[in-house]
Amino acid sequence: MYRRNLLAAALALPALARPALAQAVPLPVVASFSILGDMVRQLGGSRVAVRVLAGPDVDAHTFQPRPADAAAVRDAALVVRNGLGFEPWLDRMLRSAGRKGPVAVASTGIRPRAMADDGHGHGHGHAHGQDPHAWQDLANGRSYARTVAAALAAADPAGAGHYRDRASAYDARLAALDAWVRERIATVPEARRKVVTSHDAFGYFAAAYGVEFLAPQGISTESEPSAAQVGRLVRLLKQQNISALFLENMANPATLQRLAAEAGVTVQGRLYADALSPPDGPAPDYEAMFRHNVGLLVPAMAG
Ligand SMILES: [Zn+2]
Protein backbone atom coordinates (compact mmCIF):
# COMPACT_ATOMS: atom_id res chain seq x y z
CA MET A 1 0.00 0.00 0.00
CA TYR A 2 2.63 2.41 1.17
CA ARG A 3 4.75 1.86 -1.92
CA ARG A 4 1.80 2.04 -4.27
CA ASN A 5 0.94 5.46 -2.87
CA LEU A 6 4.50 6.61 -3.24
CA LEU A 7 4.54 5.36 -6.81
CA ALA A 8 1.43 7.38 -7.60
CA ALA A 9 3.06 10.41 -5.99
CA ALA A 10 6.26 9.88 -7.94
CA LEU A 11 4.42 9.64 -11.23
CA ALA A 12 2.57 12.84 -10.45
CA LEU A 13 5.78 14.77 -9.87
CA PRO A 14 7.95 16.32 -12.56
CA ALA A 15 10.81 14.13 -13.72
CA LEU A 16 13.45 16.19 -11.94
CA ALA A 17 11.88 15.53 -8.55
CA ARG A 18 11.88 11.73 -8.97
CA PRO A 19 15.37 10.76 -7.81
CA ALA A 20 14.50 11.75 -4.24
CA LEU A 21 11.72 9.15 -4.33
CA ALA A 22 13.83 6.47 -5.98
CA GLN A 23 12.48 3.70 -3.69
CA ALA A 24 8.94 4.36 -4.86
CA VAL A 25 9.42 2.53 -8.13
CA PRO A 26 10.82 -1.01 -8.28
CA LEU A 27 14.59 -1.14 -8.66
CA PRO A 28 15.43 -2.02 -12.28
CA VAL A 29 17.78 -5.01 -12.20
CA VAL A 30 19.19 -6.94 -15.14
CA ALA A 31 20.20 -10.57 -14.60
CA SER A 32 22.34 -12.32 -17.21
CA PHE A 33 20.46 -15.65 -17.17
CA SER A 34 17.32 -17.28 -15.83
CA ILE A 35 18.73 -18.82 -12.64
CA LEU A 36 20.12 -15.49 -11.45
CA GLY A 37 16.89 -13.78 -12.49
CA ASP A 38 15.02 -16.11 -10.15
CA MET A 39 17.44 -15.39 -7.29
CA VAL A 40 16.99 -11.65 -7.73
CA ARG A 41 13.20 -12.13 -7.61
CA GLN A 42 13.39 -14.32 -4.51
CA LEU A 43 15.61 -11.77 -2.75
CA GLY A 44 14.03 -8.59 -4.03
CA GLY A 45 10.35 -9.42 -4.09
CA SER A 46 8.21 -6.48 -5.12
CA ARG A 47 11.06 -3.99 -4.58
CA VAL A 48 12.75 -5.08 -7.79
CA ALA A 49 11.79 -5.30 -11.46
CA VAL A 50 13.99 -7.99 -13.02
CA ARG A 51 14.85 -8.24 -16.66
CA VAL A 52 16.49 -11.54 -17.61
CA LEU A 53 18.74 -11.56 -20.68
CA ALA A 54 19.16 -15.30 -21.43
CA GLY A 55 15.72 -16.57 -20.46
CA PRO A 56 14.18 -20.01 -19.82
CA ASP A 57 15.57 -22.83 -21.99
CA VAL A 58 18.09 -20.43 -23.55
CA ASP A 59 21.78 -21.34 -23.67
CA ALA A 60 23.45 -18.49 -21.80
CA HIS A 61 26.93 -19.48 -23.04
CA THR A 62 26.07 -18.47 -26.58
CA PHE A 63 23.28 -15.95 -26.00
CA GLN A 64 22.95 -13.23 -28.63
CA PRO A 65 21.71 -9.98 -27.10
CA ARG A 66 19.36 -7.64 -28.95
CA PRO A 67 19.57 -3.83 -29.02
CA ALA A 68 16.85 -3.48 -26.35
CA ASP A 69 18.99 -5.63 -24.04
CA ALA A 70 21.89 -3.19 -24.41
CA ALA A 71 19.67 -0.29 -23.35
CA ALA A 72 18.46 -2.27 -20.32
CA VAL A 73 22.05 -3.07 -19.33
CA ARG A 74 23.01 0.59 -19.63
CA ASP A 75 20.07 1.85 -17.58
CA ALA A 76 19.69 -0.80 -14.84
CA ALA A 77 20.36 0.17 -11.23
CA LEU A 78 22.17 -3.15 -10.89
CA VAL A 79 23.43 -5.81 -13.28
CA VAL A 80 23.85 -9.32 -11.84
CA ARG A 81 26.00 -11.87 -13.64
CA ASN A 82 27.55 -15.26 -12.93
CA GLY A 83 31.18 -14.60 -13.86
CA LEU A 84 33.73 -17.44 -14.29
CA GLY A 85 33.61 -16.94 -18.06
CA PHE A 86 29.95 -17.93 -18.36
CA GLU A 87 28.77 -14.80 -20.20
CA PRO A 88 31.49 -13.58 -22.59
CA TRP A 89 28.84 -11.66 -24.57
CA LEU A 90 28.07 -9.57 -21.47
CA ASP A 91 31.64 -8.22 -21.35
CA ARG A 92 31.13 -6.83 -24.85
CA MET A 93 27.69 -5.45 -23.91
CA LEU A 94 28.96 -3.70 -20.79
CA ARG A 95 31.76 -2.09 -22.80
CA SER A 96 29.64 -0.97 -25.71
CA ALA A 97 26.81 0.24 -23.45
CA GLY A 98 29.33 2.34 -21.54
CA ARG A 99 27.83 1.16 -18.27
CA LYS A 100 29.08 3.00 -15.16
CA GLY A 101 26.78 1.49 -12.54
CA PRO A 102 27.36 -1.54 -10.30
CA VAL A 103 27.77 -5.05 -11.72
CA ALA A 104 27.47 -7.83 -9.12
CA VAL A 105 29.35 -11.05 -9.88
CA ALA A 106 27.29 -13.74 -8.13
CA SER A 107 30.12 -16.29 -8.02
CA THR A 108 32.40 -13.94 -6.04
CA GLY A 109 33.95 -15.78 -3.11
CA ILE A 110 33.21 -19.33 -4.20
CA ARG A 111 36.03 -21.79 -4.85
CA PRO A 112 36.08 -22.32 -8.63
CA ARG A 113 36.66 -25.76 -10.11
CA ALA A 114 38.78 -26.27 -13.18
CA MET A 115 36.82 -27.14 -16.28
CA ALA A 116 37.37 -30.79 -17.14
CA ASP A 117 39.85 -30.67 -20.00
CA ASP A 118 39.22 -33.85 -21.93
CA GLY A 119 39.80 -32.39 -25.37
CA HIS A 120 36.21 -31.99 -26.48
CA GLY A 121 35.48 -28.76 -24.67
CA HIS A 122 32.26 -27.80 -23.09
CA GLY A 123 30.35 -27.61 -26.31
CA HIS A 124 29.89 -23.92 -25.64
CA GLY A 125 33.22 -22.47 -26.57
CA HIS A 126 35.05 -22.45 -23.25
CA ALA A 127 37.09 -25.60 -23.32
CA HIS A 128 39.69 -24.42 -20.83
CA GLY A 129 39.83 -22.51 -17.60
CA GLN A 130 37.26 -22.35 -14.83
CA ASP A 131 34.01 -24.26 -14.68
CA PRO A 132 31.27 -21.62 -14.55
CA HIS A 133 28.39 -23.90 -13.38
CA ALA A 134 28.97 -23.23 -9.67
CA TRP A 135 25.22 -22.89 -8.88
CA GLN A 136 24.87 -26.66 -9.23
CA ASP A 137 26.20 -26.94 -5.65
CA LEU A 138 23.62 -25.45 -3.25
CA ALA A 139 26.39 -24.27 -0.90
CA ASN A 140 27.54 -22.06 -3.78
CA GLY A 141 23.93 -21.07 -4.46
CA ARG A 142 23.69 -19.82 -0.87
CA SER A 143 26.87 -17.83 -1.42
CA TYR A 144 25.43 -16.40 -4.66
CA ALA A 145 22.31 -15.32 -2.76
CA ARG A 146 24.36 -13.55 -0.07
CA THR A 147 26.34 -11.73 -2.76
CA VAL A 148 23.22 -10.73 -4.70
CA ALA A 149 21.37 -9.60 -1.53
CA ALA A 150 24.33 -7.41 -0.54
CA ALA A 151 24.43 -5.88 -4.02
CA LEU A 152 20.68 -5.16 -3.91
CA ALA A 153 21.05 -3.50 -0.51
CA ALA A 154 23.95 -1.38 -1.80
CA ALA A 155 21.94 -0.32 -4.86
CA ASP A 156 18.80 0.37 -2.76
CA PRO A 157 19.92 1.22 0.80
CA ALA A 158 16.40 2.11 1.94
CA GLY A 159 15.46 -1.53 1.30
CA ALA A 160 18.40 -3.04 3.23
CA GLY A 161 16.17 -4.54 5.92
CA HIS A 162 13.79 -5.98 3.32
CA TYR A 163 16.64 -7.68 1.45
CA ARG A 164 18.20 -8.94 4.69
CA ASP A 165 14.94 -10.57 5.82
CA ARG A 166 14.30 -12.19 2.45
CA ALA A 167 17.92 -13.36 2.19
CA SER A 168 17.67 -15.01 5.57
CA ALA A 169 14.43 -16.85 4.66
CA TYR A 170 15.85 -17.87 1.27
CA ASP A 171 19.08 -19.14 2.84
CA ALA A 172 17.08 -21.33 5.24
CA ARG A 173 15.17 -22.82 2.29
CA LEU A 174 18.36 -23.52 0.34
CA ALA A 175 19.99 -25.12 3.40
CA ALA A 176 16.97 -27.41 3.84
CA LEU A 177 17.04 -28.26 0.13
CA ASP A 178 20.75 -29.11 0.36
CA ALA A 179 20.01 -31.53 3.22
CA TRP A 180 17.17 -33.10 1.18
CA VAL A 181 19.46 -33.60 -1.85
CA ARG A 182 22.02 -35.40 0.36
CA GLU A 183 19.33 -37.59 1.92
CA ARG A 184 17.93 -38.61 -1.45
CA ILE A 185 21.33 -39.40 -2.97
CA ALA A 186 22.31 -41.41 0.11
CA THR A 187 19.51 -43.86 -0.79
CA VAL A 188 21.47 -44.90 -3.94
CA PRO A 189 24.34 -47.39 -3.44
CA GLU A 190 27.64 -45.58 -4.04
CA ALA A 191 28.67 -47.80 -6.95
CA ARG A 192 25.48 -46.86 -8.82
CA ARG A 193 25.88 -43.08 -8.56
CA LYS A 194 26.85 -42.66 -12.21
CA VAL A 195 25.13 -40.56 -14.83
CA VAL A 196 25.73 -39.84 -18.51
CA THR A 197 24.53 -36.52 -19.82
CA SER A 198 25.02 -34.29 -22.80
CA HIS A 199 27.32 -31.58 -21.48
CA ASP A 200 29.60 -31.34 -18.50
CA ALA A 201 27.61 -28.84 -16.45
CA PHE A 202 27.46 -30.95 -13.29
CA GLY A 203 31.06 -30.82 -12.01
CA TYR A 204 30.08 -28.88 -8.88
CA PHE A 205 27.05 -31.09 -8.29
CA ALA A 206 29.26 -34.16 -8.66
CA ALA A 207 31.81 -32.89 -6.15
CA ALA A 208 29.22 -31.71 -3.62
CA TYR A 209 26.89 -34.70 -3.69
CA GLY A 210 29.09 -37.63 -4.66
CA VAL A 211 27.64 -38.45 -8.07
CA GLU A 212 29.85 -39.23 -11.06
CA PHE A 213 28.80 -37.47 -14.29
CA LEU A 214 30.21 -38.74 -17.54
CA ALA A 215 30.03 -36.44 -20.54
CA PRO A 216 32.52 -38.37 -22.62
CA GLN A 217 34.60 -37.12 -25.48
CA GLY A 218 32.54 -36.10 -28.46
CA ILE A 219 29.34 -35.65 -26.53
CA SER A 220 29.02 -31.92 -26.79
CA THR A 221 26.08 -29.74 -27.64
CA GLU A 222 27.66 -28.50 -30.86
CA SER A 223 29.26 -31.43 -32.60
CA GLU A 224 28.21 -34.91 -33.61
CA PRO A 225 30.37 -37.68 -32.16
CA SER A 226 32.33 -40.00 -34.42
CA ALA A 227 31.41 -43.67 -34.72
CA ALA A 228 34.45 -44.54 -32.59
CA GLN A 229 33.36 -42.12 -29.87
CA VAL A 230 29.86 -43.56 -29.86
CA GLY A 231 31.30 -47.08 -29.67
CA ARG A 232 33.49 -46.15 -26.71
CA LEU A 233 30.55 -44.68 -24.83
CA VAL A 234 28.29 -47.62 -25.58
CA ARG A 235 30.98 -49.96 -24.12
CA LEU A 236 31.28 -47.74 -21.06
CA LEU A 237 27.53 -47.76 -20.46
CA LYS A 238 27.42 -51.54 -20.70
CA GLN A 239 30.59 -52.25 -18.66
CA GLN A 240 29.54 -50.01 -15.81
CA ASN A 241 25.90 -51.01 -16.02
CA ILE A 242 24.82 -47.35 -16.17
CA SER A 243 21.09 -46.83 -16.50
CA ALA A 244 21.02 -43.08 -15.89
CA LEU A 245 21.23 -41.39 -19.28
CA PHE A 246 19.89 -37.85 -19.49
CA LEU A 247 19.28 -34.99 -21.86
CA GLU A 248 19.59 -31.37 -20.91
CA ASN A 249 17.11 -28.68 -21.62
CA MET A 250 19.24 -26.69 -24.07
CA ALA A 251 21.02 -29.55 -25.79
CA ASN A 252 20.30 -31.06 -29.17
CA PRO A 253 18.77 -34.43 -28.25
CA ALA A 254 19.85 -36.30 -31.41
CA THR A 255 23.30 -37.40 -30.18
CA LEU A 256 22.14 -38.79 -26.87
CA GLN A 257 19.12 -40.50 -28.43
CA ARG A 258 21.47 -42.24 -30.85
CA LEU A 259 23.75 -43.37 -28.02
CA ALA A 260 20.80 -44.64 -26.05
CA ALA A 261 19.53 -46.63 -29.00
CA GLU A 262 22.94 -48.22 -29.64
CA ALA A 263 23.51 -49.06 -25.98
CA GLY A 264 20.00 -50.36 -25.50
CA VAL A 265 19.40 -47.80 -22.75
CA THR A 266 16.43 -45.50 -22.31
CA VAL A 267 16.95 -41.75 -22.00
CA GLN A 268 15.54 -41.07 -18.55
CA GLY A 269 14.43 -37.50 -19.01
CA ARG A 270 15.65 -33.95 -19.13
CA LEU A 271 17.94 -32.36 -16.57
CA TYR A 272 18.04 -28.60 -16.09
CA ALA A 273 21.61 -27.38 -15.93
CA ASP A 274 22.19 -23.86 -17.28
CA ALA A 275 18.65 -22.54 -17.70
CA LEU A 276 15.31 -22.85 -15.97
CA SER A 277 12.14 -24.04 -17.66
CA PRO A 278 9.35 -21.63 -18.56
CA PRO A 279 6.94 -20.92 -15.64
CA ASP A 280 4.64 -23.82 -16.58
CA GLY A 281 7.53 -26.30 -16.89
CA PRO A 282 9.12 -28.62 -14.31
CA ALA A 283 11.94 -26.27 -13.24
CA PRO A 284 10.61 -22.71 -13.15
CA ASP A 285 12.92 -21.60 -10.31
CA TYR A 286 16.28 -22.54 -8.79
CA GLU A 287 14.79 -24.63 -5.98
CA ALA A 288 12.39 -26.44 -8.31
CA MET A 289 15.33 -27.17 -10.63
CA PHE A 290 17.10 -29.13 -7.86
CA ARG A 291 13.94 -30.98 -6.85
CA HIS A 292 13.28 -31.89 -10.48
CA ASN A 293 16.86 -33.00 -11.24
CA VAL A 294 17.29 -35.03 -8.06
CA GLY A 295 13.80 -36.48 -8.45
CA LEU A 296 14.85 -37.84 -11.87
CA LEU A 297 18.44 -38.80 -10.98
CA VAL A 298 17.81 -40.90 -7.90
CA PRO A 299 15.44 -43.54 -9.36
CA ALA A 300 17.40 -43.59 -12.65
CA MET A 301 20.72 -44.28 -10.89
CA ALA A 302 19.12 -46.89 -8.65
CA GLY A 303 18.12 -48.64 -11.91
ZN1 LIG B 1 26.96 -24.98 -19.53
Cβ count within 10 A of residue 89: 18
Supply the mean pLDDT for the chain.
86
Q: Who wins on pLDDT, 17 or 173?
A: 173
Which residues, chain by chain, have CB under 5 Å from ion ligand 1?
201, 274
Distance 59 CA to ligand 1 centre (A): 8
Distance (Å, rounded) from C-alpha 152 to C-alpha 142? 15
Same domain, 141 and 109: yes
Same domain, 96 and 155: yes
Distance (Å, rounded) from C-alpha 97 to C-alpha 161? 32
Distance 49 CA to ligand 1 centre (A): 26
Distance 34 CA to ligand 1 centre (A): 13
Distance 134 CA to ligand 1 centre (A): 10
pLDDT of 157 above 90: yes
Distance (Å, rounded) from C-alpha 55 to C-alpha 65? 11
Task: Fill in the amino acid letter for 277.
Answer: S
Distance 302 CA to ligand 1 centre (A): 26
Same domain, 136 and 226: no
Q: How many domains does the chain have?
A: 2
pLDDT, residue 229, reads: 74
Say if residues 102 and 78 touch (Cβ distance below 8 Å): yes
Distance (Å, rounded) from C-alpha 184 to C-alpha 176? 12
pLDDT, residue 260, reads: 81
Region 151-177: mean pLDDT is 98
Distance 232 CA to ligand 1 centre (A): 23
The torsion angles phi and psi of 49, rounded to 5 degrees, stand at -120, 110
Distance 227 CA to ligand 1 centre (A): 24
pLDDT, residue 234, reads: 81
Say if residues 149 and 43 touch (Cβ distance below 8 Å): yes
Helices 34-44 and 160-186 cross at an angle (nearest 10°) of 130
Same domain, 120 and 239: no
Helices 138-155 and 34-44 cross at an angle (nearest 10°) of 60
Same domain, 242 and 293: yes
Hey, which of 128-142, 172-186, 197-211, 232-246 has the most confident mean pLDDT? 172-186
pLDDT of 218 above 70: no
Task: Fill in the amino acid letter for 299.
Answer: P
Say if residues 109 and 147 touch (Cβ distance below 8 Å): yes
Same domain, 6 and 27: yes
Same domain, 227 and 158: no
pLDDT, residue 24, reads: 76
Distance (Å, rounded) from C-alpha 134 to C-alpha 40? 17
Query: Which of 25-29, 147-151, 229-233 shows the lowest per-residue confidence on average (mean pLDDT)?
Result: 229-233
Query: Which of 19-28, 33-42, 140-149 shows the lowest per-residue confidence on average (mean pLDDT)?
Result: 19-28
pLDDT interval class at 250 (50, 70, 90): low
The CATH number that applies at residue 58 is 3.40.50.1980
Region 176-193: mean pLDDT is 97
pLDDT, residue 38, reads: 98
Distance 199 CA to ligand 1 centre (A): 7
> Checking DSSP bridges between strand 267-271 and strand 245-248, what pairing results, if any?
parallel
Distance 124 CA to ligand 1 centre (A): 7
Q: Identify the H or E element spanning 172.
A: helix 160-186
Distance 251 CA to ligand 1 centre (A): 10
* Per-residue exposure over 56-80, b if at least 16 CB sit within 10 Å of its own CB, e if not: bbbbbbebebeeebbebbbebbbbb
Distance 42 CA to ligand 1 centre (A): 23
Distance 175 CA to ligand 1 centre (A): 24
Same domain, 172 and 25: yes
Distance 142 CA to ligand 1 centre (A): 20
Distance 47 CA to ligand 1 centre (A): 30
Of 176, 195, 225, the position where a domain reaches its end is 176
Same domain, 187 and 155: no
Distance 165 CA to ligand 1 centre (A): 32
For 53-92, the pLDDT digits (tens) are: 999 999 888 899 999 999 999 999 999 999 999 999 999 9
Q: Which domain holds residue 233?
A: 183-302
pLDDT of 144 above 80: yes
Distance 240 CA to ligand 1 centre (A): 25
